[in-house]
Amino acid sequence: MTKLRGAFTALITPMHADESVDYEGYRKLVRFQLESGISGIVPLGTTGETPTLDEAEEDKLIDIAMAEAKGKVPVILGAGSNCTRDAVKYVKRAKQKGADYALVVTPYYNKPNDEGLFRHFKACSEVGIPIIVYNIAGRTGKNISTPLLARIAALPNIAGVKEASGDINQMMEVITTIRAINPDFAVLSGDDALTLALSALGGDGVISVISNIAPREVTELATAALSGNFVRARELHYRLLPAFKAAFIETNPVPIKVAMNMKRLPAGSLRLPLAPLAKENEAKVYEAFRQAGILGPEDLQGGTFC
């Protein structure tokens, strides 16, 4: 199994005005990612509004992603649930569909103790597909401590972590503690703004939101940082930083869908309970992405901003 390194796009799910899934738009987005040189794609993650999709919709999206990307770049398929039985079912689906990895988030809402978390990931690891642990306490209410992650990482088929704790000290602990035992354990940033910092500290890149609209730029940033070209990496980091910040001016993926609609990329509407971006924030999103060199004056007339 090749270690994951680079920039991986946490794909949005484009939707029509009636909240139905735009499958052809999704196919176009996957092709756009591949043509732009992205390192890999991540369907059915948080950015894809997966909690609001039903299984039939998910299956169609998986089939499109696999048909377009399989054999070209790694596919890291979202397979999380706060119910362990369902998570195992989704990990099995990822394996059956031919995904290269399954992304398994910390069980949310239940707030299990460390033993419960360990057993959850153990059950998922036994399916037999490489697992990326997704640590995002801001969404789940539960942080995976480094000692617990080290215990999970010792299980078969645990290939890495998407670190979205926002705590750079914790990320350093993960690298120094787990890498000493398993050099092939991938540590990927879950925050675009920390791609450079984590890569400089020994991380392996990013699972990115911004690369939905700027895959070339985010890939170049990750590549420069991972190759030690920090002059170029810093230049790209600070250029893209306004967009990194604006993408979270409201709940992800609301702002990135707005920016993509401005750019005339298939994004469309949102599905409740996510609501359209506040009107006063539209100009802020445009200006931030303009400063980042992603949007221009022609994109002000991009259409519906969801």
The model's confidence at residue 298, banded by pLDDT at 50, 70 and 90, is confident
* Domain-embedded: residue 245: no
Quote the pLDDT of residue 138.
85
**One-letter amino acid of 1:** M
Two tokens, residue 267: 């994004």
Residue in the structure block whose two tokens are 């790209």: 236
* Domain-embedded: residue 299: no
- pTM of the complete model: 0.95
Residue range 242-282, pLDDT digits in tens: 999 999 999 999 999 999 999 999 999 999 999 999 999 99
Using the Cα atoms of residue 232, residue 238, residue 242 and residue 246 in order, give the sign of their dihedral.
positive
* Domain-embedded: residue 216: yes
Quote the pLDDT of residue 3.
85
Please indicate whether residue 134 is annotated as part of the active site.
Answer: yes
What residues contact residue 68 under an 8 Å CB cut-off, 6+ apart? 27, 30, 31, 34
Quote the pLDDT of residue 306.
58
225: containing domain: 6-236
Q: What percent of the chain has pLDDT over 70?
A: 98
User: Per the structure, how many domains does the chain have?
Assistant: 1
Q: Find the Cα–Cα–Cα–Cα dihedral 292, 298, 300, 305, rounded to 10°.
A: -90
Q: Which of 134, 142, 257, 263 is catalytic?
A: 134
Q: Find the Cα–Cα–Cα–Cα dihedral 164, 154, 110, 46, rounded to 10°.
A: 30
Quote the pLDDT of residue 302.
52
Residue range 157-172, pLDDT digits in tens: 999 999 998 899 999 9
Residue range 25-82, pLDDT digits in tens: 999 999 999 999 999 999 999 999 999 999 999 999 999 999 999 899 999 999 999 9
* Domain-embedded: residue 305: no
* Domain-embedded: residue 58: yes
Q: Under a CB-based contact definition with an 8 Å cutoff, are residues 91 and 122 in contact?
A: no
**Can you give the CATH number for the domain in which 17 is found?**
3.20.20.70
Q: Which residues pair with 104 in a beta bridge?
A: 133
Quote the mean pLDDT of the chain: 95
* Domain-embedded: residue 127: yes
Q: How far apart are CA 88 and CA 178, in angstroms?
A: 24
Q: Which of 90, 101, 162, 257 is catalytic?
A: 162
Q: How far apart are CA 108 and CA 122, in angstroms?
A: 17
Quote the pLDDT of residue 259.
97
* Domain-embedded: residue 69: yes
Per-residue H/E/C for the chain:
CCCCCEEEEECCCCECCCCCECHHHHHHHHHHHHHCCCCEEECCCHHHCHHHCCHHHHHHHHHHHHHHHCCCCCEEEECCCCCHHHHHHHHHHHHHHCCCEEEEECCCCCCCCHHHHHHHHHHHHCCCCCEEEEECHHHHCCCCCHHHHHHHHCCCCEEEEEECCCCHHHHHHHHHHHCCCCCCCEEEECCHHHHHHHHHCCCCEEEECHHHCCHHHHHHHHHHHHCCCHHHHHHHHHHHHHHHHHCCCCCCCHHHHHHHHHCCCCCECCCCCCCCCCHHHHHHHHHHHHHCCCCCHHHHHCCCCC
Residue range 184-240, pLDDT digits in tens: 999 999 999 999 999 999 999 999 999 999 999 999 999 999 999 999 999 999 999
Quote the pLDDT of residue 305.
56
Answer yes or no: is pLDDT of 175 > 70: yes
* Domain-embedded: residue 272: no
